A and B are shown apart, each in its own frame.
Chain A
Amino acid sequence: MTDAATEPDKITGPTPDIALRAGDKTKSGPVLAADGTPLKRSLNRALRAQKLRALALIAPLLLFVLITFIAPIGDMLFRSVENQIVSNTMPRTTAALQDWDSNSGDLPPEEVFEAAFYDLFLASENKVHTRLGSRLNYEQSGMSSMFRRAGRGVGDIGDVYLDQFKDLDRDWDEALPWAELMGDPDWIAAQDAWSEADGPMPSFELRAGIAEVLPRTADAYETFARFMQDSNGDSPLEEEPWSMVHTALYQDLAAGDVAGYDGPRADMLRAADALVADPAFETISFRDGFEEIDEDWLSVENWRVIKLYSPDYTVGYFASAVDMEKTPDGIEVRPEDEQLYIRLFQRTLFMSLVITFSCILLGYPIAYLLSNLPSSKANLLMILVLLPFWTSLLVRTSAWKVMLQQQGVINDVLVWLGMVADDGRLVMINNQFGTIVAMTHILLPFMILPMYSVMSTIPQSYVRAAKSLGATNWTTFWRVYFPQSVPGIGAGSILVFILSIGYYITPEIVGGTSGIFISNRIAFHISSSLNWGLAAALGTILLVVVLVLYWAYDRIVGIDNVKLGG
């Protein structure tokens, strides 16, 4: 409030200020500082040091918040769309599936099964195939066991070839002959001379030219050798290759000609080639191999799911979070009996609203009393309000359990008073009622405190003025006092509503099945079902709902009208 800018009080005579302002108005263009630079720029320069100092002061907190709050939340939000586990675990398969038309109704071609064999062989050595199985099991039940069996079964496919090559020549199941066939001689020498004191092992190198003769085998063996070195810390010179390598060898020998090969172990290789050419050589197609592992691998539906979830990012989690599912034909609503989350979100919002309103009803008179009592009494009452804050949340919630249960204090008293029959004890816990009662009690201080701090800034003179103007007590309250206390109600409501919408521990303890919140479901997915993607999607939706409500509140009430204190 300045008197100078307003009319009736305006001083009309010349004062130094008015003269100065009049002088400024006559100049045109930007105002210049004393040294001729534009005033704005020189002001900015003057303020820069101040800003830097302010930044330095908040920097530790900013970093702390960034590391412990913003980054984890960002990571969590990212998990709700991230789906790299499929393409990371089965890179060859997802690439091969690109060309397969999932709507054709046919099984994917043999190349896809071949790719799946190599992917799963490596995955099972890495012991990550079960993780992928669990991930895909969220989308199609049964896939978890299908992958678990495949992890064990891919070895059987390879063993068909391993056994036959081994019967031909024991060396095919020995480490060194394979190393000599595939490895660069310099690398073999280096690996041979290596000892643990030398630091990391010399990384495996393919022998020049071998990749042209035996492309698949070279690839498979390189994968094996690298895995041994990097993951197990074992020397490939001492480890027998996996049967995956023998399978690749069979494929190479069946497809190409090794007659021209004259490198190390040429005789061994030529003998193997002859064996493969023999009609008596036993083979098995990858498709049949997978059929033997589990019939499910020949289900078109399962392959459609794998293809559907092969991209790096997916909306599948979000679809699940709103009771829909991603199918090859687009996003569809789940059948009624599988719907869960929308109802949970609705219940969470509804119960949070009920809790907020209960808090307003219970908190307003207390806040009013607090702000109108002499300070000594108000302080005592304030301690009573704050007392619950000093008690553990678990203790308070458990206390409600004691109070509300069927054999609890309240029921006992009601039965004793004869208001309730002994066999008709009220069910007040493990349902919505219990959650609402306990949470209203727990969140009440968050409503009272902002209300109190706003009400205590409303001067008594407003009430007196209204009365002196002829208003009755009720009119005074309703038309003068209440409108001024609304910012406190607003602040308390936002606080209580946002706190309760994400509340977890109380509904978990007293909520039963009908009184749980969406947060309990999120916690379930985080800690029990380990479906973090879905938990992240649910959490993201919850966050967005809160932000939207906050935005709506700002539009309707105006966040400027919210006061947490004078």
Chain B
Amino acid sequence: MPDTSNSDAFVEFERVQKSYDGVQLVVKDLNLTMPKGEFLTMLGPSGSGKTTCLMMLAGFETATYGDIRLDGRPINNIPPHKRGIGMVFQNYALFPHMTIAENLSFPLEVRKIGKSDREAKVKRALDMVEMGAFGGRRPAQLSGGQQQRIALARALVFEPELVLMDEPLGALDKQLREKMQFEITHLAHRLGITVVYVTHDQTEALTMSDRVAVFDDGRIQQLAPPDELYEKPQNSFVAQFIGENNTLEGTIREIKGERCVVQLDDGELIDARPVNVSQVGERTRVSIRPERVEFNKDRLQEGAHMLKAEVLEFIYMGDIFRTRLKVAGNDEFIIKTRNAPDQVRLEPGAQIEVGWLPDDCRALDAPKT
């Protein structure tokens, strides 16, 4: 893990805004600081502004307002080819009329690096992605995964300190994608490069990144390491967007420091942890991860609030069981239990009680209606 407390920022967005049409802001007041060596993922639904941010960093879009700094230097007015930023594109963008070796040699040639140096660097880069034998082929003769590796090698061959990746694994099948995720992170950490990675795949974001910036509506909704993002979402968008979530709506009845009591809309009371609610009487949406819901009373704290639930559906998924319940009027309430030898398989129609640790139940802002 890089030292995230490092104060000299390598990449910095300061109050950056971007509008294409002069009417709507695609990026609204973006502030982001990245230390050197960090692997940061921009995650968000399409249209959330994440790719625009990446393009502004690469120099293909200009910021309407605000500063972007690289290594302390403002780069707003530097053309893309002078920024020295490596980039991997979604469709790889390998030049189809050049061989693999020529593709890799291209950034070195335009930098006027000598032939022998060039060849050594190309070979090293190809070996790095285990594609040493493919230098003479054309991109069209390679599979998607191989093209992906070459695109990566090409972005790294001129030894940039910052590499941008725009949904680079989007076109690969699941198995290959997971393999490449590990390879890219290992490579990035081994080489100590700073990576800005754009994806809309949350699993990818969680498994690869040092920090994840969740984008929505042109703003960063939360910027945090993956575990924090998953376990401690700061608002209901992040909670909904990252992983699976059960939500129940209600009103704050009582706040006592790290605890609050929420009265659900059907009158039941539950304990929760207040996150971004502050007043008694405020509407709230509480969120509980399916794997933190417990129906075995022995495992819960004494005095924990329990809710009545009706089992609607039991789905066997191999490693886990997924059970759909009707809880407090919500019939999309999911619980996940590990497939352990002593695990109970709930029968549809059974009446049970469910509960959770108050820390796992987060009272977040209610969506505006």
Residues of A within 8 A of B (CB): 1-3, 5-6, 8-9, 11, 459, 461-462, 464-473, 475-476, 479-480, 483-484
Contact = CB atoms under 8 A, between A and B. Distances in A.
Interface stretch (B3-11, B140-148, B201-209, B335-343): B140-148
B246 to A, nearest CB: 37
A472 B87 contact: no
Given A468-B85, A469-B154, A470-B84, A9 B176 contact: yes
Interface residues of B, number: 40
B228 interface: no
B106 A1 contact: no
A470 B158 contact: yes
A464 B56 CA distance: 12
Contacts of A468: 58-59, 80-81, 83, 85-87, 155, 164
Contacts of B79: 467
B50 interface: no
Contacts of A5: 143
B58 to A, nearest CB: 6
Contacts of A466: 95, 106
A465 B175 CA distance: 27
A341 B303 CA distance: 109
B42 to A, nearest CB: 17
Contacts of B97: 483-484
Given A469-B106, A470-B110, A470-B111, A464 B89 contact: yes
A5 to B, nearest CB: 7
Q: Which 4 A-B pairs have the closest CB atoms?
A: A465-B93, A469-B107, A468-B87, A461-B93
Interface in B136-184: 140, 142-147, 149, 154-155, 158, 164, 173, 175-176
A464 B110 contact: no
Contact of A461 (B89, B143, B164): B89
Given A462-B93, A466-B106, A3 B154 contact: no
A74 to B, nearest CB: 41
A465 B93 CA distance: 6
Given A2-B143, A3-B173, A3-B176, A479 B89 contact: no
26 contacts: A1-B140, A3-B145, A3-B173, A3-B176, A8-B130, A8-B146, A9-B176, A11-B175, A461-B93, A465-B89, A466-B106, A467-B79, A468-B80, A468-B81, A468-B164, A469-B86, A469-B110, A470-B107, A471-B106, A471-B110, A472-B110, A473-B81, A475-B110, A476-B81, A479-B106, A484-B96
B91 interface: yes
Contacts of A464: 58, 60, 80, 87, 89, 93
Nearest to B179: A9
A470 to B, nearest CB: 5
Interface of B: 58-60, 79-87, 89-91, 93, 95-97, 106-107, 110-111, 130-131, 140, 142-147, 149, 154-155, 158, 164, 173, 175-176
Contacts of A473: 81
A471 B154 CA distance: 13
Nearest to B164: A468
A468 B54 CA distance: 12
A3 B179 CA distance: 14
A3 B172 CA distance: 10
B18 to A, nearest CB: 17
Contacts of A484: 95-97
Q: Chain B CB within 10 Å — which of A2, A475, A479, A483 has the most?
A: A479
B81 A462 contact: no
B82 to A, nearest CB: 8
A1 B144 contact: yes
Given A464-B80, A484-B96, 13 more contacts: A2-B143, A6-B142, A6-B143, A9-B145, A465-B87, A465-B93, A467-B79, A467-B81, A468-B58, A468-B83, A468-B86, A472-B110, A480-B95
Contacts of A467: 59-60, 79-81
Contacts of A472: 81, 110
Q: Chain B CB within 10 Å — which of A3, A5, A484 has the most?
A: A3
Nearest to A464: B60
Contacts of A476: 81
B128 to A, nearest CB: 13
Contacts of A475: 110
Contacts of B106: 466, 469, 471, 479
Nearest to B84: A470
A430 to B, nearest CB: 45
A476 B149 CA distance: 22
Nearest to A3: B143
B146 A459 contact: no
Contact of A3 (B84, B91, B107, B144): B144
B81 A471 contact: yes
B144 A469 contact: no
B143 A1 contact: yes
A476 B130 CA distance: 28
A471 B79 CA distance: 10
A8 to B, nearest CB: 6
